[in-house]
Amino acid sequence: MSLTVSIAQINPIVGSFKQNFKMISDAILEAQKQNADVVLFPELVITGYPPEDLLFRQNFLRKVETMLQDLTQVAPDIAVVIGAPVTRAKRLYNMACVLKDGKIIHEYAKRHLPNYRVFDEKRYFRRGGSATDSHRPNSSIVEINGHKVGLLICEDIWRKGPAKVAKAEGAEVLLVLNASPFRSNKTKERIELLKKRSSKNQIDIVYANLVGGQDELIFDGESLIFSQKGELLLQAPSFESGLFTHTLFKQEAQKPIQPVEQHTLKNIYDALVLGVKDYVNKNGFPGVMLGLSGGIDSALTLAIAVDALGAENVEAIMMPFRYTADISKHDAAQQAKTQGVKYREIPIENIFESFVSALSAEFEGLERDVTEENIQARSRGVLLMAMSNKLGKMLLATGNKSEMAVGYATLYGDMAGGYAPLKDVFKTAVYDLARYRNEIGDGTVENPVYKEIIPDRVITRPPSAELAPDQVDEDSLPPYDILDAVLRMFIEEFQSVDDIVAQGYDAEMVERVANMVLLNEYKRRQSAPGIRITKRAFGKDRRYPITSHYRWNMT
**Pairing relation of β-strands 91-100 and 79-88?**
antiparallel
Q: What is the chain's alpha carbon radius of gyration, rounded to the nearest angstrom?
A: 26
Among 124, 151, 162, 250, which Cα is nearest to 208's? Answer: 151
Cα separation of 255 and 258, whole Å?
Answer: 10
CA distances from 259 to 175, 226, 270, 343, 444 (A): 20, 11, 18, 43, 19
Cα separation of 323 and 1, whole Å?
Answer: 74
Chain-centroid distance of CA 370 in Å reads 34
Cα separation of 518 and 406, whole Å?
Answer: 8
* 255 annotated ligand binder: no
Enumerate the β-bridge partners of residue 151: 175
**CA-based torsion, 453, 457, 461, 464: positive or negative:** negative
* 116 annotated ligand binder: yes
Among 269, 272, 208, which Cα is nearest to 234's? Answer: 208
Taking residue 311's Cβ as centre, other Cβ atoms within 10 Å add up to 16
* 200 annotated ligand binder: no
Q: Which residues neighbour 544 within 8 Å (Cβ) at sequence distance 6 or greater? A: 518, 521
* 292 annotated ligand binder: yes
* 180 annotated ligand binder: yes
User: At CA 85, angle to CA 79 and CA 91, rounded to 5?
Assistant: 120
* Catalytic-role residue among 154, 167, 216, 401: 154
**Cβ–Cβ under 8 Å, residues 429 and 268:** yes
CB-based burial label for 142 (10 Å; 0-12, 13-18, 19+): buried
Active site residue 154: yes
* Catalytic-role residue among 100, 110, 195, 401: 110
* 134 annotated ligand binder: no
CA distances from 516 to 337, 474, 551 (A): 38, 15, 9
User: At CA 26, angle to CA 22 and CA 30, rounded to 5?
Assistant: 175
Cα separation of 51 and 129, whole Å?
Answer: 23
Active site residue 65: no
* Catalytic-role residue among 43, 155, 222, 511: 43
Active site residue 110: yes
* 527 annotated ligand binder: no
Cα separation of 542 and 492, whole Å?
Answer: 10
Cα separation of 201 and 166, whole Å?
Answer: 9
User: Mind giving me the DSSP string for 165-211?
Assistant: HHHHTT-SEEEEEE--B--TTHHHHHHHHHHHHHHHHT-EEEEEE-E
* 523 annotated ligand binder: yes
Q: Give helix 507-519 / helix 480-487 axis angle, nearest 10°.
A: 70
**Pairing relation of β-strands 217-220 and 173-178?**
unpaired
Q: Which residues neighbour 192 within 8 Å (Cβ) at sequence distance 6 or greater? A: none
Q: Which residues neighbour 444 within 8 Å (Cβ) at sequence distance 6 or greater? A: none
* 291 annotated ligand binder: yes
Helix (H) or strand (E) holding 27: helix 17-33
* 508 annotated ligand binder: no
* 295 annotated ligand binder: yes
Known binding residues for L-glutamine:
116, 180, 186
Known binding residues for ATP:
291-298, 398
Positions annotated as catalytic residues are 43, 110, 154
Known binding residues:
116, 180, 186, 291-298, 374, 398, 403, 523
Known binding residues for deamido-NAD(+):
374, 403, 523
